[in-house]
Amino acid sequence: MRAGSLDRRIAILEKVVTQNDDGEEIGHWFQLATVWAFVQQQSGREFFASQQTLEDRRILFRIRWRPDVTVLHRIKHGDELFDIQEVREFGRREGLDLYARPAPSGQQ
């Protein structure tokens, strides 16, 4: 993988669940790592569902290989949050392709 193509900084976030004083589970997203990535929009469309405009975008984030990234993680790129849908290794531990969609609005 050419280092020159990894020209964007992204944060990989991990969800940690804690309990409040009432015993309710509360999820918090913490930064696991900040890495360089290649970012490419794979597809995009807008459609109407129940009088709301919904956006369907799939973004590819290509990073150097890491053993600790799964679909349970989230990506922060700029001010946007993305839920990882699929993780594909390429090469022999050369890198990871992280396919993600924007996280639903209102989720932290």
**Structural domains counted in the chain:** 1
* Residue 107 belongs to a domain: no
Residues linked to residue 108 through DSSP beta bridges, in sequence order: none
Q: For residue 49, what are the domain limits? A: 3-102
Mean pLDDT estimate for the chain: 87
Domain containing residue 94: CATH number: 2.40.10.270
* Residue 24 belongs to a domain: yes
How confident is the model over 56-99, as pLDDT tens digits? 678 999 999 999 999 999 999 999 999 999 999 999 999 999 99
pLDDT band at 41 (very low <50, low <70, confident <90, very high): confident
pLDDT value, residue 104: 86
Phi, psi of 43 (to 5 degrees): -155, 165
* Residue 108 belongs to a domain: no
pTM: 0.81
pLDDT band at 50 (very low <50, low <70, confident <90, very high): low
pLDDT value, residue 43: 63
